[in-house]
Amino acid sequence: MPQEFRLREILEIARTDGRVKVEALAERFDVTVQTIRRDLAELDEAGKLERVHGGAILRSGSTNIAYRARRALQSGAKRAMARACADAIAENTSVFLNIGTTTEAVAEALRHRSGLMVITNNLNIANIMSSSADIQVIVTGGALRHGDGGLIGNLTESTIRQFKFDLAVIGCSAVDGEGDILDFDIQEVGVSRTIIGQSRRTWLVADHTKLQRMAPVHVASLADIDCLFTDKPLPEALARLCAQWNTQVVVAQHSMCEAGE
């Protein structure tokens, strides 16, 4: 297959799955891994993909990666962070879980617990929690975002303002070097700010790749967060900022074998 067509197909796979792997592509196209590495380097230089260990991922920009692809990315890290986060949540706590594949992992880790009230604007989380009769689940109203089951808009914010919950566990699309939490959808950002405002404590779950991405809309700062759950130590400068802000950082380790990545 000519390189032009191979590059086009590699991009299509990345758009569908969120990432591509060198060995899988070499087998698919019946070429050497060196050839695929050159292809990925060319796509990286063109700004279309970003090289990572063992392959490449879609570059972030003004739009987010598709939900299906985000759900598959960093799955092992998400499970490890979710377990650490869930283990730190006390019984008889009211918890808000917002939109995101990482908060969905937290919901999975919580669904066998009892004595919790879970408020969410994420229909996927409501579905996860529906299997537990020992957890009270409240779903906000709002406009449905069909791509990921999120509820957003003025009605969502209005519903959230009826509550003052003990804890919010939120996800995000990116965190920059200055500690700013970023996202893509301005309506979702408005909801996230309302969640933070109605919570006594706020925890952020974000794997290390979120520190390598950018998004255009400012949500809040890590200074506004009580605890950050991540999967790798923070860059030194950002770790110093978190220490200054008294933002606790929990690094949840996971094995590559567990991750399946």
* Direct distance between the N- and C-terminal alpha carbons of the chain, in angstroms, rounded to an integer: 27
| pLDDT given at position 259 | 41
Q: What is the mean pLDDT of each run of 10 residues along the chain (261 residues)?
A: 86 77 93 94 85 80 52 74 96 96 95 94 95 91 90 96 97 94 91 97 94 88 98 96 98 61 42
| pLDDT given at position 67 | 52
One fold for both 3-59 and 69-259? no
The span from the CA of 239 to the CA of 92, in Å, is 32
The domain ranges of the chain are 3-59, 69-259
β-partners of residue 20 are 56
Best CA proximity match to 19, nearest among 46, 45, 44: 44
Instruction: Give kind and range of the element (H or E) at residue 168.
Output: strand 165-170
The span from the CA of 256 to the CA of 18, in Å, is 18
Instruction: Please state the pTM of the whole predicted model.
Output: 0.76
| pLDDT given at position 213 | 80
Architecture of domain 69-259: 3-Layer(aba) Sandwich (3.40)
Region class of 258: left (phi > 0), else alpha (psi between -120 and 50), else beta: alpha
Sequence-distant (6+) residues with CB within 8 A of 244 are: none
| pLDDT given at position 256 | 47
Top CATH class, 3-59 = mainly alpha
The span from the CA of 165 to the CA of 99, in Å, is 17
SS3 243: helix
